[in-house]
Structure formats: C-alpha cells, structure tokens
Amino acid sequence: MKDAGKTPFALGWKDPWTLSMWLTRDMPSNSALVFGQPDFFEKLETGAVKFSDNPATKVMIEHAQQLFDLGNKDQLGVDYNGAVDLFAKGDVGMMYMGTWPLADIQKKNPELYNNMGYFPYPFSNDESLNKLEFNPDASLAVSSKSAHKEAAEKFLAFFASKEGGDLVVQNINTLSYVKGTDTNIAPAVNDLKPYFDGGELYNSQMYLAKTTIDWGTPFTQALQKLFFKKVRRRSSRQRDGRLDRQEPQLSCDKWR
C-alpha cells in the first residue's frame, strides 16, 4: 500500500478514547483467545497477577508499534473527526473503527461509501483465531428522579418501536435492536454477514467486566509517551491505589 503512495491507516489519537478503544480490544482478545487467559482481568482485580505475567501485554505493545508505523503523520495532532476526514478523502487505505463513521463518510464521499468494505481486526497471525468483535450498546434507562420522566418514557417507547428503529438505521447507519427493522445499513456492512451467519463473533469487553481497574487510561498514556514522547490526557481522571500500583511502566527493552 505504501508503494502505491497510500498511507495504510488513518490514526487520530488526539482524542484518547480512540487509542484506548483499540488497546482495550487488542489485549483482551489476545489474552482470552490466543493465550488462554480469559480470567486475566479478574485476577488482576485481586492482585493475583501483573501485566508482565501476561504475554498479551508484550504482543499489544508490538502491535501498537506496527500500527503507529503504518499511520499518518502527527497522530497526536489528529482527532477522531480528522481521522474520518483522512479516510473519506481517500488519503489513507484503512481506519480502525466501528460502524458509527458511516453516516459522515456517506455525506463526505458517497462514492467511497458505496465501494468501501469492512473486515474484522486481525489481532492474531493465526487466521483461525480471529473473530468479529461485536460490542453493541444495549442499555437505555430513565432516571427515577428525572424532571421529565413521562416525556423520556415516551421517547424510549418510540425508540423501541419499528418506526423508531428504522429511523436509527436510516440516519445513523447502524443496526437497531427492534425486530423487523431495516437491516440495510450500508453496502460495506454486508462484508461482515458471513461472520454473523457462522457465529464467528465475540465480545472482548466481557473479560473487562471482571475488573473495576481503569487500566486502559494509563496504558494509553504510557503508549503515547513511549512512542510519541508526549501524552494526551483526558480532561479529568480518577485514580485509586490499585490503579496507581498497576500503572504500566513501558519500555521497549523491558518487553523484548
């Protein structure tokens, strides 16, 4: 791809959540599906293991370096919207993201929208281990203390109707949980149908549900410091004693 004059990946780490989203999927995927440690984060919660006990940590750092090397310039200066723009303009070949950029891509480059494709993130070189990461948002609620409880409940009822579900599909280009709604999200999503039909799906976040430690934030900052020599911080962050003790101190030499 580089030989053809294309930058392989659009990467925008100015918004820390984009890098955190990647690493909090790469590492759990390798932990559970490659190295057979589905309970790693549960043990991490109790202090029974450390990051250095898990070979997936080293693999994740190696994957990060490979990904960064294949990305655009000034990755810490490009935010999520900037990465979508790079992709929509055709300046790059790929981006790591879910289905939520589809509506923007459709507006910015209809031709690309109709001809682009999707494929699962290959977290392993063993093709038989790779599955489609599927993390649907599934929870909506109304606060019992809401000042507009009746109106909010009516909105949720509409959201759960076929009419509401179809509007979600048509305007956001994503699937609705409502049975019978339109499934024609975008041409590219058809590439993922074989994984659904064959049951080749998994949810890496189920492994993270076993820990309350916010390990993604310090790892994101450590990777930024290691590879880019600077850090993009969230506007606010809570720390606790366990997180501080577990905060990864990364160096290339340590993980070789």
- What is the distance between the alpha carbons of residues 81 and 166, in angstroms, rounded to a whole number? 26
pLDDT of 23 above 60: yes
CATH class of 7-125+190-246: alpha beta
Burial 85-117 (b: 16+ CB within 10 A, else e): bbbbeeebebbbbebebbbbbeeebeeebeebe
Distant-in-sequence, close-in-space partners of 244: CB < 8 Å, separation ≥ 6: none
Segment (H or E) for 9: strand 7-10
CB 60 within 8 A of CB 30: yes
pLDDT of 236 above 80: no
Looking at residue 253, its pLDDT comes to: 45
Instruction: Give the residue with greater pLDDT, 43 vs 250.
Output: 43
- Beta-bridge mates of residue 95: 10
Looking at residue 117, its pLDDT comes to: 95
Tell me the mean pLDDT in the region 196-220: 87
Q: What is the average pLDDT score of the chain?
A: 86
pLDDT digits (tens, 9 = 90+) for 77-98: 999 999 999 999 998 999 999 9
Burial class (CB in 10 A: 0-12, 13-18, 19+), 2: exposed
* Total Cβ atoms within 10 A of residue 72: 20
Q: What are the extents of the domains in the chain?
A: 7-125+190-246
* Total Cβ atoms within 10 A of residue 246: 20
